[in-house]
A and B are shown apart, each in its own frame.
Chain A
Amino acid sequence: MTLDKLLIIAAALFCCGLYTVMTRRSAVAVLMGVELILNATNINFVAFSFFLSRVMGGQIFAVFVIVLAAAEAAVALAIFLRMFATTGTVEVDVADEMKG
């Protein structure tokens, strides 16, 4: 197991998340894509910390990111609920009232 392989796995995961965010129209799916991107980042944190540092900074940062992602999911889902109540759907294309 080397750092290279871990970074490739993280990059792949990031690309999957990005692809999801760019292509999905459902807000919930987009949120899931965001979770994938965050987890790709977590892998990077842990990997760099494990191979390049003697302290556990990266691991602790990853824990914070997980907590943050949970909080973010909670806020985002609350927004989706309000959006659904207003427009009857959670399609992201619908929310384009501020376009130029």
Chain B
Amino acid sequence: MIRYAYIIPLLPLASFFINIAVGKRLPRKGDWLSLATILAGLVMSIGIFLEVFGAYDPNFKYHVVTPWLAVGDRFTLNVGVLVDNITAVMLLVVTGVSTLVHLFSIGYMHGDPRYNRFFAYLSIFSFSMLGLVLSESFFFIYVFWELVGLSSYLLIGFWFEKKSAADACKKAFIANRVGDFGFLIGTLIIFATCGVLGYDQVFESIGAGKLSGTLLTIAGIGIFCGAIGKSAQFPLHVWLPDAMEGPTPVSALIHAATMVAAGVYLVGRVYPIFTPDAFLFIAYIGFITLFIAATIALTQNDIKKVLAYSTISQLGFMIMGLGVGGFTAGLAHLTTHAAFKACLFLGSGSIIHAVHSQDLREMGALRKKMPITFVTFLIATLAIAGVPGFSGFFSKDMILAAALEFGMRNPQHYILFFGALFTAGMTAFYMFRLVIMAFFGKPKDHHKYDHAHESPPNMWVPLVVLAILSFSFWFKSPFVEKGWFQTLITKPATVANIAKAPAAPASMEHAAVMAPAHAEPSAAAETPPSTGPVSHGESQEGAPHGEPAGAAAHAGAAEHDAHIAHAAHAYAMYSSVTVGALGIFLAFVVYSFGWIDPARVANSVKPLYDFLLNKWYFDELYDKTVIGGSISFAKFLAWFDLHVVDGLVNLAAQLGVFVSFLVGKFDDYVVDGAVNGVASATIGGGSVLRRLQTGKLYHYVFVLAGGALVIFLIKAF
């Protein structure tokens, strides 16, 4: 099955071409074709996953390449497929969510005038996303990266008659382009120094020291810029909330589960090349994002806006998790988040479908009208809030543990853990605020309440499937120390270090059991303590190589590592459960029991409330600075063009006319004069000389004799 992995993305591509060309004339406008191709992809992905799972090897890797384009004999561009454990999981996530979204869309988009085009767009999105997941080189991931951006643009702007949707898709595309530019620069730095583009080749040549130091940090940050754009990280997060103008299934597919996860996947994929400085940058970007987005989500009243900001916040968690060294944690959160956030978005789609409104203040008491939607939504909410037993707990806990561990090693970065912990509490609060406002209490708008109804089965079946996937036993049984996810998805060895040293195998075993995700004990030996103030899972007191007590010190350091990891895990678990419970409790206190009036609270901290309600004024700030600046600059350029450039051109033209006039005169008088002068001189000379030709024979003879006499005289004397 794994040998045919390349077929998975090609199926939706075929579906795209067929649907875009003749979809309108197909029976049911071709929705079955898109659904069938992605379903086939899902089946194949399950097959691949079972094969990979059957191998149960953390280092499993299926990698085929074939030359595609040879540039001279110095460089060959390869096309190929790379399937390892991360890819297998991502394939399952993408095809799974995509299939359910296809199914949901059949109900949600029913009767839309461009129904077939919607499914064609879904197909090309699936193609791009699957291609991105399967690609094995920086070149092809960039190609598919841009294709994903394009399909996102098409889908956000699907209802382009609405000005807000048309604006949103442009905003998304431009914000993505900004990030992609960084990605391009990072890729080009790598290509310029290493000369190769395949992941393995790049890792190998960086490991060989072809690219290191500050330039490697810059390359890593550049590539991470791509993730900032796609995964809606600060400061490019502004496009994601606006992207909710697209149809709700699109929000679920692209802006919750898959496309925004592409950035996280990218960071995970090129994880070995990041330097400690780049990791610190990544961690702080993720941290800023998760905090800002969560605070904004507290105040929003549009159901999809709340979910959008919660998505940004969760993506911030993933990015921060990766940044602090929790490789498994970040990717686990990606996977679990895909399921429960898709469930939340599709659930909100179901609500919007029923109520015809997105405003939370017009909902209420919907649990009686829409029981299935309510239960699935509640399960997904419990998952995102990090309640034990649900998938969000499993992954968020790992991220918090990684952040705490990082803080324990580098006390100056403790804020990452406490900020994230506080944000986890906020997450629980705003998600339960959403649930309570939508499903509990009394109906606020009776007209809308009376019209509300449960959605048809093809809409609630995906909800149920996704809700079932939001339980944590899928990823880790409560009775074992370590689930399959933690076993299979392990942090790859970094290649960004300069020195290589033999790892201590015994201590590695020990540490790996205790702290699979967080500790990379061989790194302790690899990194000299002088690399910087930040250490990622490696011991600060790692002994220099060659010392007699080196092995013992390694073992001790590894034990210390394991201890820290274990402690971090326990603390993080207790504290995250506590803040989660607090957040949920507070939400009930404020919005259900009515002990605290939210309006009064909002009034008492009015400036702060307004600040959050207006999304930290990011849009206004960008409007004033970036957009306003661009427009002023464009106006200046227009002025410059009109007056200076055109002026120069006109001046040059007038100068040309003047010079031509002079040249014309010169031609008339000097050049022609010279020609005419030669002619008239010839005429004049001729009329003088003709007199010599008298025609009298004796003249000629006389001249002849005279000439002879002259010659004779000259010779004689």
Which of B130-138, B154-162, B255-263, B698-706 contacts its partner?
B698-706
Q: Which residues of A contact B692 (CB under 8 A)?
A: 100
Per-position binary interface string of chain B over residues 690-717, scored 1 when its CB falls under 8 Å from any chain A CB and 0 otherwise: 1111111110011001000000000000
B708 nearest in chain A by CB position: A18
The answer to whether the Cβ of A93 comes within 8 Å of any Cβ in the partner chain is yes
- Contact check, B698 vs A22: say whether CB atoms are below 8 A apart: yes
- Contact check, B689 vs A100: say whether CB atoms are below 8 A apart: yes
Q: Which residues of B contact A98 (CB under 8 A)?
A: 693, 695
User: Which among A18, A23, A95, A99 has the highest number of chain B CB atoms within 10 Å?
Assistant: A99
- Contact check, B696 vs A93: say whether CB atoms are below 8 A apart: yes
Per-position binary interface string of chain B over residues 656-699, scored 1 when its CB falls under 8 Å from any chain A CB and 0 otherwise: 00000000000000000000000000000000011111111110
A20 to chain B, nearest CB (A): 10
B16 to chain A, nearest CB (A): 96
At the interface, is chain B mostly helix, strand, loop or mixed?
helix
Cα separation A78 to B688 with both chains bound (whole Å): 36
Q: Which residues of A contact B705 (CB under 8 A)?
A: 18, 22
The answer to whether the Cβ of A21 comes within 8 Å of any Cβ in the partner chain is yes
Per-position binary interface string of chain A over residues 72-100, scored 1 when its CB falls under 8 Å from any chain B CB and 0 otherwise: 00000000000000000000110111111
A14 nearest in chain B by CB position: B705
- Contact check, B690 vs A100: say whether CB atoms are below 8 A apart: yes
Cα separation A62 to B694 with both chains bound (whole Å): 34
The answer to whether the Cβ of A38 comes within 8 Å of any Cβ in the partner chain is no
Q: Which residues of B contact A18 (CB under 8 A)?
A: 701, 705
Cα separation A30 to B694 with both chains bound (whole Å): 18
B689 nearest in chain A by CB position: A100
B688 nearest in chain A by CB position: A100
Choose from A21, A22, A30, A100 the contact partner of B691 (Cβ within 8 Å).
A100
Q: Which residues of B contact A96 (CB under 8 A)?
A: 694-696
B689 to chain A, nearest CB (A): 7
Q: Which residues of B contact A30 (CB under 8 A)?
A: 697
Q: Which residues of B contact A92 (CB under 8 A)?
A: 696-698
User: Which among B692, B693, B694, B701 has the highest number of chain A CB atoms within 10 Å?
Assistant: B701
A32 to chain B, nearest CB (A): 14
- Contact check, B698 vs A21: say whether CB atoms are below 8 A apart: yes
Cα separation A23 to B701 with both chains bound (whole Å): 10
Q: Which residues of B contact A23 (CB under 8 A)?
A: 698
Cα separation A23 to B691 with both chains bound (whole Å): 21
Cα separation A93 to B699 with both chains bound (whole Å): 11
A72 to chain B, nearest CB (A): 16
CB proximity to B under 8 Å, residues A10-49: 18, 21-23, 30
Cα separation A99 to B692 with both chains bound (whole Å): 9
Q: Which residues of B contact A100 (CB under 8 A)?
A: 689-695
Q: Which residues of A contact B702 (CB under 8 A)?
A: 22
Cα separation A93 to B694 with both chains bound (whole Å): 10
A18 nearest in chain B by CB position: B705
A33 nearest in chain B by CB position: B701
A41 to chain B, nearest CB (A): 13
Choose from A21, A95, A97 the contact partner of B701 (Cβ within 8 Å).
A21
Q: Which residues of A contact B690 (CB under 8 A)?
A: 100
Cα separation A22 to B702 with both chains bound (whole Å): 7
Q: Which residues of A contact B698 (CB under 8 A)?
A: 21-23, 92
B265 to chain A, nearest CB (A): 104
B116 to chain A, nearest CB (A): 100
Cα separation A5 to B702 with both chains bound (whole Å): 26
B699 nearest in chain A by CB position: A22
Q: Which residues of A contact B693 (CB under 8 A)?
A: 98-100
Cα separation A18 to B701 with both chains bound (whole Å): 8
Q: Which residues of A contact B696 (CB under 8 A)?
A: 92-93, 96, 99
- Contact check, B695 vs A97: say whether CB atoms are below 8 A apart: yes
- Contact check, A99 vs B695: say whether CB atoms are below 8 A apart: yes
Cα separation A61 to B689 with both chains bound (whole Å): 39
B705 nearest in chain A by CB position: A18
Cα separation A60 to B689 with both chains bound (whole Å): 43
Cα separation A33 to B434 with both chains bound (whole Å): 143
Cα separation A18 to B702 with both chains bound (whole Å): 9
CB proximity to A under 8 Å, residues B299-336: none
User: Which among B691, B692, B697 has the highest number of chain A CB atoms within 10 Å?
Assistant: B697
Cα separation A13 to B139 with both chains bound (whole Å): 112
Q: Which residues of A contact B691 (CB under 8 A)?
A: 100
Q: Which residues of B contact A95 (CB under 8 A)?
A: 695
B694 nearest in chain A by CB position: A99
Cα separation A22 to B690 with both chains bound (whole Å): 21
User: Which among A18, A92, A98, A100 has the highest number of chain B CB atoms within 10 Å?
Assistant: A100
B153 to chain A, nearest CB (A): 93
B693 nearest in chain A by CB position: A100
Cα separation A23 to B696 with both chains bound (whole Å): 11
A23 nearest in chain B by CB position: B698
A17 to chain B, nearest CB (A): 10
Cα separation A100 to B698 with both chains bound (whole Å): 16
Cα separation A100 to B705 with both chains bound (whole Å): 21
Cα separation A100 to B694 with both chains bound (whole Å): 6
Cα separation A83 to B314 with both chains bound (whole Å): 127
Cα separation A96 to B698 with both chains bound (whole Å): 12
Q: Which residues of A contact B689 (CB under 8 A)?
A: 100
Cα separation A97 to B697 with both chains bound (whole Å): 12
- Contact check, A22 vs B701: say whether CB atoms are below 8 A apart: yes
Q: Which residues of B contact A93 (CB under 8 A)?
A: 696-697
User: Which among B691, B692, B693, B695 has the highest number of chain A CB atoms within 10 Å?
Assistant: B695
Cα separation A92 to B696 with both chains bound (whole Å): 8
B694 to chain A, nearest CB (A): 6
B98 to chain A, nearest CB (A): 107
What 18 new A-B contacts, CB under 8 Å, besides A22-B701, A92-B697, A100-B690?
A: A18-B705, A22-B698, A22-B702, A22-B705, A30-B697, A92-B698, A95-B695, A96-B695, A97-B695, A98-B693, A98-B695, A99-B694, A99-B695, A100-B689, A100-B691, A100-B692, A100-B694, A100-B695
* Cβ contacts A to B, 24 pairs, < 8 Å: A18-B705, A21-B697, A21-B701, A22-B698, A22-B702, A23-B698, A30-B697, A92-B697, A92-B698, A93-B697, A95-B695, A96-B694, A96-B696, A97-B695, A98-B693, A99-B693, A99-B694, A99-B696, A100-B689, A100-B690, A100-B691, A100-B692, A100-B694, A100-B695
Residues of chain A whose beta carbon lies under 8 Å from any beta carbon of chain B: 18, 21-23, 30, 92-93, 95-100
Closest 8 CB pairs of A and B: A96-B695, A99-B695, A100-B690, A100-B693, A22-B698, A92-B697, A22-B701, A99-B693
Residues of chain B whose beta carbon lies under 8 Å from any beta carbon of chain A: 689-698, 701-702, 705
